């Protein structure tokens, strides 16, 4: 997926902000925090996972997502979000 396609979604950016903040969450909790339905959350999470930005772990029926700290994309994103949020706080 092109970079403009990955970042064209407000929800995907919000998912990233949440996961950078809390580290790890299951799909239902991400959906609850964003006030979106489970299927929609799953769709966006899959896109971010396919890009290698997120990692998924399965524990039975539970799916936990976290940022993939090994990915250079994740590090770049972390810097971008930090700089952006920090700038807005000033």
What is the DSSP pairing of strand 54-59 with strand 62-67? antiparallel
Q: Which C-beta is closer to another protein: that of 28 or that of 40? A: 28
Q: Least distance to another protein from the beta carbon of 29, Å? A: 6
CA angle 85, 30, 27 (to 5 degrees): 140
Positions in the binding site for another protein (CB under 8 A):
22-26, 28-29, 59-62, 64
Q: Least distance to another protein from the beta carbon of 5, Å? A: 29
Q: Least distance to another protein from the beta carbon of 60, Å? A: 5
The string of DSSP letters for 22-40 reads HSEEEHHHHHHHHT--HHH
């Amino acid at each position: 997926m092109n970079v403009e396609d990955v970042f064209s979604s407000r929800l995907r950016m919000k998912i990233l902000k949440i996961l950078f903040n809390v580290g790890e969450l299951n799909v239902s909790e991400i959906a609850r925090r964003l006030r979106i339905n489970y299927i929609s959350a799953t769709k966006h999470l899959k896109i971010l996972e396919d890009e290698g930005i997120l990692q998924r772990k399965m524990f039975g029926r539970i799916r936990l997502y976290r940022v993939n700290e090994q990915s250079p994309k994740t590090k770049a994103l972390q810097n971008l979000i930090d700089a952006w949020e920090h700038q807005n706080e000033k």
